[in-house]
Amino acid sequence: MKSAYFHIPFCAQICYYCDFNKVFFQGQPVDEYLQAMEREMKKTVEVFPAERLDTLFVGGGTPTVLEMKQLDFLLESIYKHFRFSKDEVEFTFEANPNELSKEKLQLLKAAGVNRLSFGVQTFHDSLLKTIGRTHRYGDVMRTISLAKEAGFDNISIDLMYGLPNQTLQQFQEDLEIAFSLDIQHISAYSLIIEPKTIFYNLWRKGTLPLPSEEEEAEMYEEAMRQMELHGYQQYEISNYARPGFQSRHNLTYWNNEEYYGIGAGAHSYVDGVRRVNIGPIKQYIAKVQETGLPYREVHRVTWMEQMEEEMFLGLRKTEGVSKRRFSEKFGRDMHDVFGAAIRAERQKGLLEETDTHVRLTRRGRLLGNEVFQAFLTGM
């Protein structure tokens, strides 16, 4: 185990598309929640002793909605229970562009946080309003400037396409502005309509004006083309980085490696077992106080499931799945297990094969979910 994820489920505003485990910040038992997280950390490393970690990721929700003392407590808790080298670890904090003051940035920097991931989504104020974001274009420019002044030199932003009423031209403008920021990493995701969101309810009523599938595909093609032109290498379906700045933490997931998950609704993968924590805040706190480990689901991953996950997670990477690594990990030749699926997807033009890897074609990246499904049926 070399990675740990910490979930802060509080938000100042609930975005209309978000289905992550989150609640409004106001009126919540935030201090009690952070104390419960600290207790879960302690119990977790007692039961599953920690190696020296290579990556830490604090996500949400909105971690930066926490007040200074609360941020300080969280960071102290992490240092208390996990071992890592400040000089070698990738320590990421997710942030909203309008919630990071100079003081918070200095606190994070002093605590060893060395990577920031900003939920920008778009630079168009009209679209930001449409999707329920509270920040505006000016907030992004100001906060990224402050982050650079504070010494952060590994900055990522999230962009979204396929938004209601979004045009290709608007997305092209978003990309141009992103490139002008001189940052190291950009994630570009298509909007997915998830149940239990405001957008899902509007979509069910037929009142959500989305771009067509063809327009969304054009936006994705444009992202791939422009990123390459501007020196950002696509290393995963939705992620692009300057050389040396790939998200090491997210590669943990795509490489099908194990990780700790701390906090309400967090997922973990430890000793071949996937666990899901209780989501509701008060229930999570109560369970931690009772047992220290707030699991809602526990599933031991079968050998076949591990091989399936190796394929559909690994195929998200542009380099694809290593044949040698598959064989070393499972003692089976990839083609002995998934030969029929590989051949079928190759015939469709969605997969290609080299001497060392199986990977999605450029067209396959547009239809990734269809390809992944082919590896969920086993042999």
Half-sphere exposure of 201 (CA within 13 A, CB side): 6
State the CATH number of the domain containing residue 345.
1.10.10.10
> Do 175 and 183 form a contact (C-beta atoms < 8 A)?
no
Whether residue 279 is contained in a domain is answered as: no
The pLDDT value given to residue 132: 84
Whether residue 270 is contained in a domain is answered as: no
User: Do residues 172 and 95 share a domain?
Assistant: yes
- Residue 14's pLDDT band, with cuts at 50, 70 and 90, is low
Radius of gyration of the chain (CA): 21
- Residue 378's pLDDT band, with cuts at 50, 70 and 90, is very low
- Residue 379's pLDDT band, with cuts at 50, 70 and 90, is very low
The pLDDT value given to residue 24: 54
User: Which of 190, 220, 254 is the last residue before a domain boundary?
Assistant: 254
pLDDT tens-digit series, residues 24-61 = 557 789 999 999 999 999 999 999 998 899 999 999 88
pTM (two decimals): 0.94
User: Do residues 55 and 171 share a domain?
Assistant: yes
User: Do residues 165 and 249 share a domain?
Assistant: yes
Q: List all residues 6 or more positions away from 28 whose beta carbon is below 8 Å from its beta carbon.
A: 10, 281
Whether residue 244 is contained in a domain is answered as: yes
State the CATH number of the domain containing residue 179.
3.20.20.70
Share the mean pLDDT of the chain.
Answer: 92
Question: Which one, of 315, 304, 374, lies nearest residue 340 by Cα?
Answer: 374
Lowest mean pLDDT among 38-47, 203-212, 294-303, 355-364: 203-212
Distance of CA 155 to the CA centre of its chain: 14
DSSP secondary structure of 39-59:
HHHHHHHHHS---EESEEEEE
Whether residue 272 is contained in a domain is answered as: no
Whether residue 86 is contained in a domain is answered as: yes
Q: How far is CA 373 from CA 22, 73, 369, in A?
A: 29, 42, 6
Say if residue 127 is exposed, middle or buried (CB neighbours under 10 Å; 0-12, 13-18, 19+): buried
pLDDT tens-digit series, residues 134-146 = 889 999 999 999 9
User: Do residues 244 and 312 share a domain?
Assistant: no
The pLDDT value given to residue 362: 93
User: Do residues 120 and 215 share a domain?
Assistant: yes
User: Do residues 198 and 56 share a domain?
Assistant: yes
Lowest mean pLDDT among 39-53, 207-221, 285-299: 207-221
The pLDDT value given to residue 10: 87
Longest Cα–Cα distance in the chain: 57
User: Do residues 249 and 310 share a domain?
Assistant: no
- How many structural domains compose the chain? 2
Whether residue 379 is contained in a domain is answered as: no
Whether residue 264 is contained in a domain is answered as: no
Say if residue 13 is exposed, middle or buried (CB neighbours under 10 Å; 0-12, 13-18, 19+): middle
pLDDT tens-digit series, residues 163-207 = 998 999 999 999 999 999 999 999 999 887 777 767 767 777 877
Cα–Cα distance, 290 to 272 (Å, whole number) = 25
Q: What is the mean pLDDT of residues 250-267?
A: 97
Q: What is the mean pLDDT of residues 342-348?
A: 97
Whether residue 265 is contained in a domain is answered as: no
Q: What is the mean pLDDT of residues 243-250?
A: 98
> Do 82 and 298 form a contact (C-beta atoms < 8 A)?
no
The pLDDT value given to residue 194: 72
User: Do residues 175 and 321 share a domain?
Assistant: no
The pLDDT value given to residue 200: 67
User: Do residues 204 and 329 share a domain?
Assistant: no
User: Do residues 66 and 210 share a domain?
Assistant: yes
Structural domain of 69? 3-254
User: Do residues 345 and 216 share a domain?
Assistant: no
Cα–Cα distance, 358 to 379 (Å, whole number) = 17
